[in-house]
Amino acid sequence: MTADINEHSAIRPDHQVPIHVPTDSQHKGLHFLMWILLLLIVAVPLLLVLRHREEAKHAAAARHITAGVTITSATAEKGEIGVYLDAIGTVTPVYTDSITSQVNGLIVAVHYTEGQLVRKDDPLVDIDTRPYSASLLQAQGALERDQSVLAQAQMDLERYRAAWARNAIAKQTLDDQEKLVMQYEGTVKNDQGTVQYDQVQLDFCHITAPIPGRLGLRLVDPGNVVQSDGNVTLAVITQLEPITVIFTIPEDSLGQVVARLNAGAKLPVDAFDRTAQTKIASGALLTIDNQIDTTTGTVKGRALFSNTHDVLFPNQFVNTRLLVDTHSGVTLVPSSTVQQNGQASFVYVIQNDVARMRSVKTGVTSGGVTEVEDINPGEVVANSSFDKLQDNTAVVISNKPVAAGVAGISAP
């Protein structure tokens, strides 16, 4: 009966089943599990990505080690290179004339314009000629008078000689007449000198160009009065064609230059602009000075340039390169391939994709090219990545080997 009652009571509609409510400690445990799950969801893909990148980096490093250091290269070649002396020079005209007046007078005409190119004997300035024309006329009149007096004395001398031959006059009379003729001859010569002097003074009134060249700025105007003391410059002419450049030669190199000059060699000289990058003109060494400047230890040299296009201007500063000698049949490499280890020089020669260090002896360097010994023409040398190279380092050449005489690098 009791069992029935319990059984019926278990299925009663109003019977409530007990519900389990989690405690606070159970809530905290669930939250912790959820955070762990979230971290796993985020961390696992991230770790997989990082691991993949690390593996790729190691693989790339392994490939790089296997392939070697990437470099550019150049090929040694056989050629010639010049031995140059570089110096700073000054463009100096062969002739520079500052023209002044040789007579006193009033300027009546100025025939030249500023900067004009003139030839020899072109008119420049005219000075009033009237005083000098009048003086010349007086001298000419005196000369004609004295020439007539001399002619009369000479006629008398001929008569006296004829009379002396007939014993008609005394010998003293003849001698006196001969001396009188000589006096008149001296007077005539004096008059001739006066005429020539006055003619020269008259010619000085017409001033012409003594040399061909370029005139400077106008220094006088018509109406100015000039004196013969030379204090007033009427015009300045500088010869431009040809023109010279004066530069210095080191004392230590003088013997080499003199030996070449004594052998009759023509030593070329190139003039460059201030940056020493652009060549302005080419000429030849004309001569050197006769003494060394003890303050600088140099001697001056003068080079002659045709300057047909007036590219060199008087007093212009230029950089000069004197070709003293030429080394032919030598091995040349780009200067950038030569490395220094203290006082020693070396290059990396590429053989079977391996860089091998080789000591070399360097010679002349010019125009980005260096003369070297202990390298054979045709051998390939490294031209970059020197900070990564050592002896017997594997390399990969990233360019076709460039010879020393191409790609903007040329032996003089």
DSSP sequence for 46-88: HHHHHHHHHHHHHHHHHHHHHH-EEE-EEE-EEEEEEEEEEEE
pLDDT(138) > 60: yes
Average per-residue pLDDT for the chain:
86
| Region 26-47 average pLDDT | 68
CB neighbours (10 Å) of residue 226? Answer: 22
pLDDT(59) > 60: no
- Separation CA 210–CA 177 (nearest Å): 49
pLDDT tier at 68, thresholds 50, 70, 90 = confident
| Region 113-132 average pLDDT | 95
Please provide the distance, in angstroms rounded to a whole number, between the alpha carbons at the two ends of the chain.
131
Length in residues, the chain: 412
| Region 32-45 average pLDDT | 71
Q: Is the pTM of this model over 0.85?
A: no
Joined tokens for residue 119: 């030839």
| Region 152-176 average pLDDT | 93
pLDDT(39) > 80: no
Please name the amino acid found at residue 350: I
DSSP string, 178-236: HHHHHHHHHHHHHHHHHHHHHHHHHHHTEEE-SS-EEE-S----TT-EE-TTS-SEEEE
Residue 28 confidence (pLDDT)? 62
- Separation CA 370–CA 39 (nearest Å): 66
- Is the CB of residue 372 less than 8 Å from the CB of residue 332? yes
In the chain, domain spans: 24-67, 69-83+327-403, 85-93+239-325, 97-238
Tens digits of residue pLDDT in 281-317 = 999 999 999 999 999 999 999 999 999 999 999 999 9
How many helices (H) does the chain have, and how many strands (E)? 5, 23
Residue 161 confidence (pLDDT)? 94
Structurally, at CATH architecture level, domain 69-83+327-403 sits in Beta Barrel (2.40)
For 97-238, the fitting CATH number among 2.40.110.20, 3.40.50.2300, 3.60.20.10, 2.40.50.100 is: 2.40.50.100
- Is the CB of residue 70 less than 8 Å from the CB of residue 395? yes
Tens digits of residue pLDDT in 372-381 = 998 999 999 9
Same fold, 69-83+327-403 and 85-93+239-325: no
The rounded Cα 225 to chain-centroid distance in angstroms is 44
CB neighbours (10 Å) of residue 13? Answer: 4
- Is the CB of residue 126 less than 8 Å from the CB of residue 107? yes
Its CATH class, for the domain covering 85-93+239-325, is mainly beta
Which own/partner pairs from 125-131 qualify as long-range (CB within 8 Å, at least 24 positions apart)?
A: 125/99, 125/101, 125/207, 125/220, 125/234, 125/235, 126/205, 126/206, 126/207, 127/101, 127/103, 127/204, 127/205, 127/206, 127/207, 127/226, 128/205, 129/202, 129/205, 129/206, 131/105
CB neighbours (10 Å) of residue 128? Answer: 16
Tens digits of residue pLDDT in 230-274 = 889 999 999 999 999 999 999 999 998 999 999 889 999 999 999
Q: Alpha carbon of 210 to those of 99, 123, 124, 213: distances in Å?
A: 9, 10, 10, 10
